Amino acid sequence: MPSKAKLFIALAIIPGLTMLALGVSHWESADPVRFTIYLLLALVASTLKVRLPGLTGTMSVNFLFILIGVSQLSFSETLALGAVATVTQCVWKTKMRPSVPQVLFNIAALTMAITSAHFIYHLPRIQQVNGRMPVLLALAGCFFFMTNTMLVATVLSLVEARPFTRIWQQCYIWSFPYYLVGAGIASLVGVSGQYVGWKTALLIVPIMYLVYLHYRMYVERETVNANALK
C-alpha cells in the first residue's frame, strides 16, 4: 500500500475513532428495547451486500437503519449501531479477510458520516425552515452519502493510483439512487411510526429487501454486460 494511502487512513482513523469514543461515552438510551431491535436488524442488513462494479468493497442495507437511528435514536446509540454493523459488513462472507486498519478506517469513515448526518438532521436552523421528517432525512442521507463515499473514494484513489473524480463518480452513479430510496423508506418508517408505533412501522422495512434484490440483480446484469464488451 502506498505511503500516502497509509497516512490518509491513519489521519482518518484518529478523528473518527475519537468521535466514536466521545459519542458512546455520553451514552443515552430512552428505549433500550427499541435500540436492541434496531441493532439486531442492522446486523442482519449488514449481511445483505452488493459489490459495486469497478470498485473495491461492498455496500449493504445497514445504512437504512443508520438513517432510522439518526431520526429516532440518540447520537450515541446511532454511533454504536453503525460501528457494530460496519464490523459485521467487513467480516461477513468476504473473499479476503480485511486487515485491522481497513476495518478501523471503515468504522471511522462511517462514524464521521453519521456525525454529519446527525448534525444536519438536528440543526435548528434547518428545522425552522422545514422540519418535516422526509426533508430532513433526505438531507441527512445526502450528507451521510457525501462524507462516506468521499472518504472511501480518496483511499481507493491513493491505493489504486486512479483519479479521485472518476472513482467518486462511480460511487455516485451506482449508489446515490440506492441511498435516496433508503432515505425515503426510513422517512416512511418514521412518519408511520408516529401514528401506529415504531414496532408496527417496522413492517415497512421488508420493502428495502425487495429493493436490495432488484438492485443486486441490476448490478450483476450490468457487470456481466460490461465484461462481455471487453
**Which pLDDT score, from 0 to 100, does residue 1 have?**
75
**Which pLDDT score, from 0 to 100, does residue 96 have?**
78
**Which pLDDT score, from 0 to 100, does residue 226 have?**
58
Q: Name the nearest CA neighbour of 61 among 223, 190, 215, 188.
A: 215
Q: Let me know if domain 3-229 sits in CATH 1.20.1530.20.
A: no
**Which pLDDT score, from 0 to 100, does residue 174 have?**
75
**Which pLDDT score, from 0 to 100, does residue 95 have?**
76
**Which pLDDT score, from 0 to 100, does residue 5 have?**
87
Residue extents of the structural domains in the chain: 3-229
Q: How far is CA 87 from CA 52, 70, 91, 191, in A?
A: 19, 19, 6, 29
Q: Residue 209 has which C-alpha cell? A: 429487501
**Which pLDDT score, from 0 to 100, does residue 216 have?**
84
Q: Name the nearest CA neighbour of 70 among 144, 178, 145.
A: 144
Q: At what angle do helices 206-229 and 164-196 cross, to 10 degrees?
A: 160
Put simply, whether the predicted model's pTM sits higher than 0.95 gets the answer no
**Which pLDDT score, from 0 to 100, does residue 139 have?**
92
Neighbour-count burial of 42, counting CB atoms closer than 10 A to its CB (0-12 exposed, 13-18 middle, 19+ buried): buried
Ranges of residues in the chain whose predicted pLDDT is under 70: 53-56, 225-230
